[in-house]
Amino acid sequence: MHAVERSTVTVDLGAIRRNAETLRRAAGGAELWAVVKADGYGHGALEVSRAALAGGASALAVATLAEALPLRAAFPEARLLVMGPVEDVAAAREARLELVAVGDEVPEDVPVHLKLDTGMGRWGLAELPAPTRDVVGVLSHLASAESDPDFTMAQIERFRGATAPLAGRLTRHLANSAGTLRYPEAHLDAVRCGIALYGISPFGRDPAADGLEPALRWESYLALVKRLQPGESTGYGRRYVAERETWIGIVPVGYADGFRRDLTGTQVVVEGKPTPVVGTVSMDAIAVELGRRLPTGTAVTLVGEGVTIEDHARVAGTIGYEIATGIVTAPGRARRVVRDG
């Protein structure tokens, strides 16, 4: 591994498939629509889509036309929804996509979902117009289903009330991952699940509490091991100064790989033990404090058993979505490997 790539991202499609099955059960009788935008939240959209469909998803959802077209080529019969604005409606029509009306203009001669803004304050209509013959669905988006029950219930009630006359005629869909797992009232005809599909908790906690399995593992290695004497430092700004004789390991990943600069102080796993990241995260390297001298080439788990995306998100003061989508799989950086476990 080490002669070719600096780190390896392994995606377990079996976990994706099982998460889809878990979410489909949680949704009761509603359909599961798999959100695979942002290259499947950094996991690989084509592979994730295949696993999600195998796990019972009945549609795929993305943010842009450019994200949808490769999926249409790979899955010619799949139901494909583009949730963001699309300027080239002709291309969407030719690719047999379904679009969302996110503003006053409603695309014509293509299946359309009308989006009602129930409180997100972003894309969406203030009031639903009378559906035209092209309208096949109505939707909204929950703003804080992971943290604010009162506001979430207000959104659910507004959406259900506004769309009640359309029940049985059009597909009504509202719930995201958090809504699917916590609010049966939001299930309606279909749920749109993204983050939970990948085994990342929308609540920032252990995903196993909701029966989810993390699908992504990120590994690197100790490229250099060196001893610091008291008073010696590692990294920019001398943020870490050894108080005693200390062995440190240099791992060839940094913020250009998606290991964010604000992850200083998080932990990774070396030889099965939680190991602190010390000093400033640089563009291409991090330093870890070792309890003893270890050989170069020793494996380092950046995300996986013993260290989760949720753990890193708490240290960085962000959410798991940003950690997952920020990991760079590109030539010269991380290699992505897919397995079906």
Catalytic residues: 37, 236
φ, ψ of residue 277 in degrees (nearest 5)? -85, 125
How far apart, in whole angstroms, are the C-alpha atoms of residue 311 and residue 320? 9
What are the contacts of 134-137 at 24+ separation with CB within 8 A?
Answer: 134/106, 134/107, 134/108, 134/109, 134/110, 135/106, 135/170, 136/98, 136/111, 136/112, 136/170, 136/171, 137/98, 137/111, 137/112, 137/113, 137/170, 137/171, 137/172, 137/173
Q: In what order do the strands lie in the sheet with 267-270?
A: 224-228, 246-251, 286-290, 273-278, 267-270, 299-303, 216-221, 7-12, 334-339
How far apart, in whole angstroms, are the C-alpha atoms of residue 259 and residue 181? 29
Give the C-alpha distances (Å, rounded to integers) separating 327 from 66, 78, 302.
20, 28, 11
Nearest alpha carbon to residue 191 among 56, 14, 41: 56
How many CB atoms are closer than 10 A to CB 10? 17
Quote the tokens at residue 54: 């195998």
Give the C-alpha distances (Å, rounded to integers) separating 324 from 30, 51, 313.
27, 18, 10
